[in-house]
Amino acid sequence: MSGQDLWLDPQSANYSGRDLASSGEAITAQRNSLGAAIQNASSRPPWGADDIGAAFEKNYRTFETSILDAWRNVGEYVEGLGTNVIEAVAQSVATDGANAQRIRSSNPS
């Protein structure tokens, strides 16, 4: 970015970080409610206990677990991204303020 300025609007970035974190919370809430319903519905295998049902159960459980775990991880990850955005903005603003103070104090005119 040689020769270009980087401009940060802290208020907008903070709002965006909060929105992102809130989205992660919403993903997690959906996973917890719908995921629990999926687990509850499949706890009494509606596909039966015959050979075909047992084979389906064996494969289904692996996929169900993988998908529900991934869903939870996505929610946590998105929420964490939002939190990280907020922290990065705070650190950038603090660094900028500290640097401005250093420049002002080194050039008393």
pLDDT tens digits along 48-100? 889 999 889 988 999 999 999 999 999 999 999 999 999 999 999 999 999 99
Looking at residue 5, its pLDDT comes to: 78
Does residue 76 fall inside a structural domain? yes
Does residue 69 fall inside a structural domain? yes
pLDDT at 34 over 90: yes
pLDDT at 1 over 70: no
Whole-prediction pTM value? 0.78
Residues 6+ apart with CB under 8 A from 44: none
Total number of domains in the chain: 1
Helix axes 10-43, 51-106, angle to 10 degrees: 170
Does residue 46 fall inside a structural domain? yes
Does residue 68 fall inside a structural domain? yes
Domain containing 27 equals: 22-80
Looking at residue 2, its pLDDT comes to: 62
